[in-house]
Amino acid sequence: MIYARLKNGQHFIVMEPGNIERLKRGRVMKTPDNEVLFAFAPDMEWTMEQFNAMMTAGEIDIEVVEQILKRGLIRPEVLR
């Protein structure tokens, strides 16, 4: 993975196929400076519903995020 913070403050990430496969297996990845976390969800609508429910219940942390994403991996992929 290539990661850089540009002069204007934007974050720039280039991923290789191995990174994408790890994301599809449910691994949450992060940039070396821990500024950006990213993940894969095969069904974004379901995933957002889960996040919204957890956020109304309190603060959401990385463990909760990983649990939601792992449950979502068994769902079929939805292309919208």
The per-residue DSSP string of 4-63 comes to EE-TTS-EEEE--HHHHHHHHTT--EE-TTSS-EE---S-HHHHHHHHHHHHHHS---HH
Tokens of 3: 């990661």
> In DSSP terms, which residues pair with 5 in a beta bridge?
11
Assess whether 45 and 79 both reside in one domain. yes
Residues 32 and 50 grouped into a single domain: no
Question: What confidence tens digit (pLDDT) does each residue in 66-76 have?
Answer: 888 888 888 88
Same domain? 1 vs 34: yes
Question: Does pTM top 0.85 for this prediction?
Answer: no
What DSSP element (H or E) covers 68? helix 62-72
Instruction: For residues 65 and 80, state if they share a domain.
Output: yes
Q: 35: which 2 tokens?
A: 């500024």
Number of domains in the chain: 2
22/55 same-domain check: no
Q: Are residues 8 and 30 in the same domain?
A: yes
Owning domain of residue 32: 1-40
6-62 pLDDT per residue, tens: 999 999 999 999 988 988 888 888 888 888 888 888 888 998 898 888 877 776 777
